[in-house]
Structure 1
């Protein structure tokens, strides 16, 4: 009988010791992060109706915690957990206590897409932002007229506006918390990332300044609908600039119009030899960019395609028709009825 009691007592001690060891192991693991301090912050989505147990599996599968069992232990010891559905910014450097607190906090507000269309002028983007209720009319233009308020790894215009340097693409914005300067900085950053950084050496080798490339690219964006044809058009236009011939790019005469497609106002400007944007009369590049160019146009302006052509037009199907001289150009005008 004494032997049985001794065995039972020993077993009890072992179980207690084992339980205490497990307790201390779980407690230790609950205070350990999955990664060292300084790990990247990531976006983690709490699904609607998610349970603490289910989140443990998700967190572990994404490497944000070490062990889902330890997560469940922590929530048990915590005494309650009410995560909020939505996106949260968390890091594997966080402890389980920090993660739980963050997932119970308000999620990141849902953003909505805002599209800056290729070729748009500052006034076009301003009008679209105002129509969407993000700004008061004129706020975008006013902010973009102060280049000194922004930073870039390339020289921004010292005077005038940021026309041409604000990259056109879809940006996520938060209704009710829209920051016009933040959007402009994001556009500059996109320009730097998409074009400037990978093409810095190419710009230097082109023999043109970045600003000259941007001005030419803004015209190409409007002049040639097919990106593959833009290097050829760029070659023609640069040749005309270098030889001192007027460019004859009618899109430039539309730049200062309140409405781009106002034909009456456009024709009036075409007849005005004093208009600085009238490239039928003025030689060289126009005073500045006429809109927001894409990478395809910027690369074409930087690396034009040499050819024997001096003129071009587009037929009714918008197919490019280049020509070697004025006589061929006029013959193409008559053939395709383009005037």
Structure 2
């Protein structure tokens, strides 16, 4: 039987819970309100270029803004948009600063975008030196400026560990809009790193953690696959062969690695000389294991193949004159294919 005293205690307990709930909601509201009014950087932080892809929703911009260091929390961005109401960001490039509040950022993204730019294409498999030469030929930089920037990973940010030495392999090959006369080489490098993160690293972060191989090793393998196999659909097969050779202690025999340090990639005389140099650390005919680093810029197709190789029975492969892949199970089959397709 419930007494009056018990009833009073029950009522007081319920009232206490209601008060605590109200305080928690009030605290969350205050936290959210303060968060959307607080910029992530003090006044005066330099603006960065932020691109809004056509058709991107306001909600979808939140994680991208967090990745670029422009806001602290995508949940706060959603709360801001809910309170703000209608939001219609304009596709294109916008200058946004981490010193801006969310209200200022959303207003900037609704403003007219930066003037039209011109395309600059970074070709799949290009080395840093190839991109540098193309930028110089387009009169966007002085020769060597891109190489110099990419040789200082500490100047840039990424959601993954940056390598030491150079950013070879991590600067994603894509068509980038640039404005002649306003070109910033470090901005291009940062955009390439951002694209690498958005296209490959972030969507496959969990798979990378389960792979049993470091991100850097995956990038090195992917850079070889980009050069070794012209058909993206065949790269997982080649990846399976090459990882097997790595794991079993066999030399890779990837001749593309011996071209990496050549001034001209297709300089055959210099290439054959490098193949004969058994002391060359890039000579994977004689040296076991992965080469010292990536040999160019891989695409998502190559990165995925390096991350998820196809298990198979093959140990060797070659390409015929039409660049068709012919794998083989042992040295005898491989030599027979060499003779058949006249590949030496």
TM-score by length of 1: 0.70
2:115 to 109, 115, 136: 109
| Corresponding position: 1:252 with 2:257 | yes
Are residues 38 and 270 of structure 1, via their aligned partners in 2, closer, same or farther at CA, if it must alter by over 3 Å? farther
Q: Distance in 2 between matches of 1:192 and 1:143?
A: 19
Cα shift at 1:324: 0.5
Q: Contact 1:195–1:295 (CA<8 Å) still a contact in 2?
A: yes
Are residues 191 and 40 of structure 1, via their aligned partners in 2, closer, same or farther at CA, if it must alter by over 3 Å? farther
2:285 to 260, 271, 280: 280
Unaligned runs of 5+ in 1: 1-34, 46-86, 91-101
Name the structure 1 match of 2:170: 165
Larger gyration radius, structure 1 or structure 2: 1
Cα shift at 1:41: 6.9
Name the structure 2 match of 1:80: none
Q: Distance in 2 between matches of 1:263 and 1:247?
A: 20
| Corresponding position: 1:43 with 2:49 | no
Deviations 1:69-95 (A, max 9, x none): xxxxxxxxxxxxxxxxxx9999xxxxx
Unaligned runs of 5+ in 2: 1-81, 97-107
Q: Distance in 1 between matches of 2:95 and 2:332?
A: 65
Equivalences, count:
252
Q: Contact 1:241–1:284 (CA<8 Å) still a contact in 2?
A: yes
| Corresponding position: 1:263 with 2:268 | yes
Q: Contact 1:42–1:89 (CA<8 Å) still a contact in 2?
A: no
Q: Tell me the SS of whatever aligns to 1:43.
A: coil
The RMSD of aligned alpha carbons is 2.5
Q: Tell me the SS of whatever aligns to 1:232.
A: helix
Name the structure 1 match of 2:338: 333
Structure 2 counterparts to residues 193-204 of structure 1, below 5 A: 193-204=198-209
1:219 to 211, 218, 224: 224
Cα shift at 1:205: 1.6
Cα shift at 1:108: 2.9
Q: Tell me the SS of whatever aligns to 1:329.
A: helix
2:192 to 174, 187, 191: 187
Q: Distance in 1 between matches of 2:95 and 2:202?
A: 28
Q: Contact 2:319–2:326 (CA<8 Å) still a contact in 1?
A: yes
Q: Distance in 2 between matches of 1:226 and 1:265?
A: 27
2:313 to 308, 315, 327: 308
Deviations 1:32-77 (A, max 9, x none): xxx96597573389xxxxxxxxxxxxxxxxxxxxxxxxxxxxxxxx
Structure 2 counterparts to residues 227-238 of structure 1, below 5 A: 227-238=232-243
Name the structure 1 match of 2:28: none
Q: Tell me the SS of whatever aligns to 2:272.
A: helix
1:141 to 114, 133, 147: 147
| Corresponding position: 1:128 with 2:134 | yes
Deviations 1:309-333 (A, max 9, x none): 0000001111100000101000000
Q: Contact 2:91–2:113 (CA<8 Å) still a contact in 1?
A: no
Q: Contact 1:218–1:291 (CA<8 Å) still a contact in 2?
A: yes
Q: Tell me the SS of whatever aligns to 1:113.
A: strand
Are residues 107 and 223 of structure 1, via their aligned partners in 2, closer, same or farther at CA, if it must alter by over 3 Å? closer
Are residues 188 and 41 of structure 1, via their aligned partners in 2, closer, same or farther at CA, if it must alter by over 3 Å? farther
Q: Distance in 2 between matches of 1:337 and 1:124?
A: 31
Cα shift at 1:291: 0.2
* Consecutive aligned runs of 4 or more in structure 1 exceeding 4 Å deviation: 35-41, 87-90
Are residues 234 and 172 of structure 1, via their aligned partners in 2, closer, same or farther at CA, if it must alter by over 3 Å? same
Q: Contact 1:43–1:89 (CA<8 Å) still a contact in 2?
A: no
Deviations 1:14-34 (A, max 9, x none): xxxxxxxxxxxxxxxxxxxxx
Are residues 44 and 235 of structure 1, via their aligned partners in 2, closer, same or farther at CA, if it must alter by over 3 Å? closer
Name the structure 1 match of 2:70: none
Q: Contact 1:312–1:329 (CA<8 Å) still a contact in 2?
A: yes
